[in-house]
Chains A and B, each alone.
Chain A
Amino acid sequence: MFSKHPRTDEFEKVALPHLKELYRTAAKLLGDVTKAEDVVQETYLQAWKSFARFEPGTNCRAWLFKILVNTIHHHRRNWFNLRRVPASEEILERTVACAAPVPERMAQEEILRALACLPADYRAAVLLADVEEFSYKEIAGLLDVPIGTVMSRLSRGRKLLRDQLDELARSYGIGTGGREGSA
Chain B
Amino acid sequence: MNTAPHASNEGDAACQTLRGHLDSYLSRELPEETSREVQRHLEICPRCAAELATRARIRTQLQAAVHATPVPGGLEARVRRSMRGEVSRPRTGLWAVAAAAAVIVCVAVVSFLRVTANPEEAILRKTSGRLAAVLNVGLRDHLRCAVFRKYSKQPLAARQMAADLGPGFADLAPLVQAKLPGNFRVIQGHHCEAGGRHYTHLIISGGAGGGRIVSLVLTRRQSGESLSGGIHQAGVDRFQVVAFESHDYLAYVISDLDAQQNLQWAANLAPTLRGYLAAHAGRAARWGRPPHSTYFAQLCQVLYWS
Contact = CB atoms under 8 A, between A and B. Distances in A.
B51 A19 contact: no
B300 interface: no
Nearest to B12: A181
Interface residues of A, number: 74
Interface string B49-91: 0110011001101111111110110011011101110111111
A90 B267 CA distance: 8
B271 to A, nearest CB: 5
Contact of A111 (B50, B51, B65): B65
Nearest to B226: A34
B270 A108 contact: no
A16 B79 contact: yes
Given A16-B76, A16-B79, A41-B82, A182 B19 contact: yes
B90 A2 contact: yes
A117 interface: no
Interface string B1-29: 00000000000000110011011100101
A143 interface: no
B199 interface: no
B234 A80 contact: yes
Interface string A1-22: 1111100100110001001100
Contacts of B51: 179-180, 182
B271 A94 contact: yes
Interface string A130-168: 110101100000000000000100110010011001000
A58 interface: no
Interface stretch (B32-40, B127-135, B145-153, B203-211): B127-135
A168 to B, nearest CB: 11
A14 to B, nearest CB: 13
B231 A83 contact: no
B160 to A, nearest CB: 30
A83 B68 CA distance: 23
Contacts of B29: 135-136
Interface in A28-84: 28, 33-35, 37-38, 40-41, 44-45, 48-49, 75, 78-84
Interface string A85-124: 1000111101111100000010111011001000000000
A177 interface: yes
B31 interface: no
A173 interface: no
B263 interface: yes
Contacts of B126: 78-80
A178 B244 contact: no
Contact of B266 (A79, A84, A92, A165): A92
Interface string B238-249: 000010101000
A172 to B, nearest CB: 14
Nearest to B235: A81
B198 interface: no
Contact of B263 (A44, A85, A158, A178): A85
Interface of B: 15-16, 19-20, 22-24, 27, 29, 47, 50-51, 54-55, 58-59, 61-69, 71-72, 75-76, 78-80, 82-84, 86-91, 126-132, 135, 228-236, 242, 244, 246, 263, 266-267, 270-271, 274
Interface of A: 1-5, 8, 11-12, 16, 19-20, 23-25, 27-28, 33-35, 37-38, 40-41, 44-45, 48-49, 75, 78-85, 89-92, 94-98, 105, 107-109, 111-112, 115, 126-127, 129-131, 133, 135-136, 151, 154-155, 158, 161-162, 165, 177-183
Q: Which 7 A-B pairs have the closest CB atoms?
A: A108-B65, A38-B129, A5-B87, A183-B19, A82-B234, A95-B270, A183-B20
19 contacts: A3-B90, A8-B84, A8-B87, A19-B79, A24-B69, A35-B129, A37-B78, A38-B128, A41-B78, A45-B83, A79-B126, A80-B132, A83-B234, A84-B230, A85-B230, A96-B230, A108-B61, A151-B24, A181-B15
